[in-house]
Structure 1
């Protein structure tokens, strides 16, 4: 396994908890979230508590033009774990998930 874990939605809640737990278990972490100030705060807390390296990437997953920057930021890292925890709605209007239209689908291919 690689020495880095990548966690999306890492600024709060479950993503933040995953980030701490993976760092406690010896992995360096890459935190990806929308709010830069929150990322900086969480990164500092993790570094102080665990002594592990933490890298942050600010990204708003509601935008489509973020993936090239994420890919560049991850270059050269030996990534062993991805926790894809980013909170996204498939449709901005309330509806049953299975009744969403095909237009709501987003396909992302990581190469």
Structure 2
């Protein structure tokens, strides 16, 4: 469950309390802090040898939701977030721009990452 592993990495290193894997627990969300949602896009066996795959190519998505009137330094938070993931071999392959969602009045950005997981 790679989404859970990435969720734990973000939570423990960025001191974020609103980090969720697969779905957001809306009853437990702070409306003043960013919310991270981690989901899996694709798991693809790769690096075959001896008729077995030796690694798994994982694609994961992280969406960050900010309150409309956030006081957080968004650039600093996202720079630290990207540095953390790159240090742990998560490579970004798609980053959307920030988008305002009028239905729930949040600002959201979506990051997509590749990660190669070695399989024993």
Which of the pair is proportionally richer in strand?
Answer: 2
Higher relative contact order (Cα pairs below 8 Å, separated by 6+ residues) = 1
Same fold (TM over 0.5): no
